[in-house]
Amino acid sequence: MIRKSVLLLIFLPFIFSACKGPVEKTSTISLKDIAAQLQLLDENVMKVQAEDPTTPNGQKRVMPRTINKDGSLAVVPAGDWTSGFYPGVLWHMFELTGRPEWKEKAIKFTAILEEQQFNGSNHDVGFRMFGSYGNALRLTNDESYIPVLEQSALTLIARYYENVGCIRSWDFNQENWQCPVIIDNMMNLELLFWASKQTGDPDYYDLAYRHAMTTMYNHFRPDNSSFHVVDYDTITGEVRVKDTHQGYSAESSWSRGQSWGLYGYTMTYRFTENIYFLKQAEKIANFLLGHPNLPEDLVPYWDYDAPGIPGEPRDVSAAAIMASALYELCTYSENGALYKEKADKIMESLGTNYASAPGENYGFILGHSVGSKPGDSEVDVPLNYADYYYLEALVRKTDLEAY
């Protein structure tokens, strides 16, 4: 196994922190073309803000998310679960290019989310704040970002249920669920692990560790695929039901959820060095890469068990998350060479066949993602988190190949 020092493991959210010089090619998408797309996206966001500045309920439109069914650009409020990804995209562009204009834009859009440190309406405070403020701190060392992140962690742990051993994900559908926990929630543990190190308070670490353990025991099937939602009894902590909200069925393998799990357990191993978490990440990776319904180009269908394969939509966001996770996992695992090879293949596929044509898709980098196929929402469209994890994967690939 490729071993890192304990210090490197502790700081691996910051492992890819140094701003690199420009990279000429990114698996067929040049940084010049990416920059042109993002400049277009910025212009289109400003147009929406000028022409239709608020949502029907009066919230200010601030962040680009996707393309609406009517073909218009969806610019969402700060409280949207995806609001942290666009600032994160800008931070990644600064990281890849070192150019000050990306830093300036990233600072501007990050600041918009300051009040979200108190938004405890769901588990997504980690997504909102670590993609934005977390990257801001990592790349600038500006300590003014620290209090916002610390408060964000406090907001997140307020959703922890001691009897369950997990952070409650959602508050809706209370007529059916008591304490729903989704596999996506593994991603938000990074904020808590960071907070434990930053503050010296072990409670953040312990809660995150227990959430990961509880999820590992209850979310995964014998074949190492994951349920999307596990609902717990708030009194006994027992599992009430295993369900889905975005997958084809409760028993199917929703693609983005599988990628969240892969990424989440790889990251959890980074902070804990617990071999069980590494093994879990490897099991998930091997399930995905060996799945008979994974296409040759390694860009999965929206659900690995969707009934209409091969006529089902692909989910580029699931592929981008998987690539980024595999680039990290390859630094820990005895199977590292294979995982690096597969991540490279995903990035090549995304750049070759799933990138937006120059000037199209309002400036999003990638197309062909799926938000919720059962809800007929955001099907075969760009999504800001696909762009975020694609650029994060590119940063990781660039750093790996620099040594």
Catalytic residues, which ones?
Answer: 124, 184
Residue 227 structure tokens:
């349920």
Residue 128: its H or E element:
helix 125-129
User: Would you say 300 and 313 are in contact if contact means Cβ atoms under 8 Å apart?
Assistant: no
- Beta-carbon contacts of residue 199 (< 8 Å; ≥ 6 apart): 150
- The strand pairing partners of 381, in sequence order, are 369
Candidates 67, 182, 192, 174; CA nearest to 129 is 192
User: Would you say 107 and 136 are in contact if contact means Cβ atoms under 8 Å apart?
Assistant: yes
**Is 245 buried (19+), middle (13-18) or exposed (0-12) by CB count in 10 A?**
buried
Candidates 200, 304, 184, 329; CA nearest to 252 is 304
What are the two backbone dihedrals, phi and then psi, of residue 96, each rounded to the nearest 5 degrees?
A: -80, -30
- The strand pairing partners of 64, in sequence order, are 75
- State the Cα–Cα distance between residues 385 and 318, nearest whole angstrom: 10
Place of tokens 């995903």: 346
- Amino acid type, 117: Q
Candidates 343, 275, 189, 227; CA nearest to 1 is 275
Candidates 146, 81, 79, 80; CA nearest to 116 is 79
Residues comprising the chain, all counted: 403
Instruction: Centre a 10 Å sphere on the Cβ of residue 251 and count the other Cβ atoms it contains.
Output: 13
- State the Cα–Cα distance between residues 290 and 288, nearest whole angstrom: 5
Sign of the torsion formed by the C-alpha atoms of 152, 394, 385 and 19: positive
User: Would you say 66 and 110 are in contact if contact means Cβ atoms under 8 Å apart?
Assistant: no
